[in-house]
Amino acid sequence: MKKLICPSMMCAEYDSLGEETRKLDAAGADIFHIDIMDGSFVPNFGMGVQDMACIRKNTEKPLDVHLMIDNPGNYIELFAGLGADLIHIHPESDRHPARTLEKIKSLQKKSGIAVNPGTSPETIQELLPLVDYVTVMTVNPGFSGQQYLDYVDDKIKRLAQLKTKYSFRILVDGAVSPQKVAELSRAGVEGFVLGTSALFRKKETYQKLISQLKNC
């Protein structure tokens, strides 16, 4: 099964974001992951629309916009217009998540839901027919540099059983090491949002790291 390598661009060098994007693209990155935070739904602020515009300018690869914000349905047209190919929402942050997911799909974009560590698959099962991707948060959202939460592994296994029925793809996001990439790939995970645990701030080139991750 092909692994989707999804650099978390919040971990990139901001003073050379365009160059970072081009290097990752050339190295074989599959999807560029962009965290948008509002300081309310999560206690931090993430990337901005200018950052997203810079990344979009420097790659034709898909952009995954992860909306860690309250009322994401109010901003779907904005991010679709900025060039998002895939838009993730957190069901807990939206009063009408089904309507928001339908809006994403009506704009010819891929839809996704991000599942927090404390959210069970059973509580989001009704939304699964509306999504192309489910991203399992393996840390609490809002900050980089956290430790992987091992108890989410059981949730990943349960979602892997459901994906054959609903035809979505599973991504994981948060403190994912190369060892976890190999382990979770065997469990049915198809894509990996990667930050400093596996991709950024390393001595090796992006090309070498991504090649190793795809073959681990």
Q: 17-26, pLDDT tens digit by residue?
A: 999 999 999 9
Residue 142 binned pLDDT confidence (cut-offs 50, 70, 90): low
Residue 141 binned pLDDT confidence (cut-offs 50, 70, 90): confident
The pLDDT, as a whole number, for residue 139 is 94
Report the percentage of the chain scoring pLDDT > 70: 98
Structure tokens at 211: 């090649």
Question: Model pTM?
Answer: 0.96
Mean pLDDT of 148-153: 96
The pLDDT, as a whole number, for residue 146 is 76
On average, the pLDDT of the chain sits at 95
Active site residues: 35, 173
The pLDDT, as a whole number, for residue 143 is 65
Q: What is the DSSP string of 47-59?
A: --HHHHHHHHHT-
Residue 99 has pLDDT above 70, yes or no: yes
Q: Can you list the positions of beta strands (E) in 8-98? A: 32-37, 63-68, 86-89
Q: 34-81, pLDDT tens digit by residue?
A: 999 999 999 889 899 999 999 999 999 999 999 999 999 999 999 999
Q: Please tell me the distance from the alpha carbon of residue 105 to that of residue 54, in angstroms, as a whole number.
A: 24
The pLDDT, as a whole number, for residue 2 is 87
Mean pLDDT of 163-170: 94
Residues 14, 201: contact at Cβ < 8 Å? no
SS3 169: strand
Mean pLDDT of 137-165: 90
> What is Dmax (Cα atoms) for the chain?
45
Tell me the one-letter amino acid at 16. Answer: S
Residues 98, 127: contact at Cβ < 8 Å? yes
The pLDDT, as a whole number, for residue 144 is 65
